Structure 1
Amino acid sequence: MRHMSIVATAVAGLLSAVATTAPAAPRGVEAALARLDMAQKEMVAQADVAKLAALSAPELTINAPTGRVLSREEFLAMMRDGRIGAEEFDRTIERVRVSGDTGVVMGSERFTPTAASELGRTYGTAPLRRRYTNIYQRHHGRWYWLARHANVVPMPPGRSP
């Protein structure tokens, strides 16, 4: 009986530790930043260059999944002329962190490029699985999109994103 009590106590302790270390749903400022990040995804999906320009900091720098580093101006030009374009675009936010005036959003994306886009010419129009990080900076009470890194995750043959 004593053995069962020790095992039960150990299991309860383990479950408590897991529950306290599992990522919680974002609250407050983190939840607001998560909503902004999903709005940014919609801006890209709809090729809304005007809204993307308004959201983007002048220093926006993107490490693109095409293997190039883009300035704000290069990114917006590519959105305008279709070199960046999505047939479908889904995003899953996995972590949001805010420290002072800096916010970081990380997660995964399923992105189906248009045929005319750089990704479409490189990978075709099949859905791509990507990892991403967006960094935002708060200035005078407003969040601006400051930086992004996105990369295509290679899929083993026969698997889909």
Structure 2
Amino acid sequence: MSDEKNKVGDIARNIWLAGVGAYGRAVDEAQGRLEKAGMETPKLFRDLVKAGTALEEEARSAGEEARNSVEERIARVRENFRLQRQGDDLAALHDKIDRLSAQVAALTDALAAINPPKRKTAVKKKAAPARKAAARKAAVRKTAAKKAAARKRPARR
């Protein structure tokens, strides 16, 4: 039994020593990796800083290009809107001019119908009072036509 006890004790001791050896090896490997990482860390850090700087510059230039593109689009839209508004204003002005021209033509025709151009003829003394009456009637009709035109005229802005 003593022999068996020694064998069991030797096996237990060997297991214990194997565990301690594994632990020692793990510690040595960890220290080796830590030392290696300690030496590589500054190099790795510098490499990451360089890569980050390059990416930042790319992102900044892409952002500036995008901003310039958007600003150009906004400027074009504003210009198109301004030109469209001017075109609308111009069209409205042409419409007003056309309406006023039509009114002037109508008034001119009405005046021509009321007062046809007179031909130069020998003036008789008896016709003078008739001319004065016709002139008065024409003046009254002109005033009435002006008032009617003023009522039809759109209000100014």
Range class of TM-score, shorter chain:
under 0.3
Q: Between Structure 1 and Structure 2, which shows a larger proportion of helix residues?
A: 2
If the length of structure 1 is used for normalisation, what is the TM-score? 0.26
Q: Between Structure 1 and Structure 2, which shows a larger proportion of strand residues?
A: 1
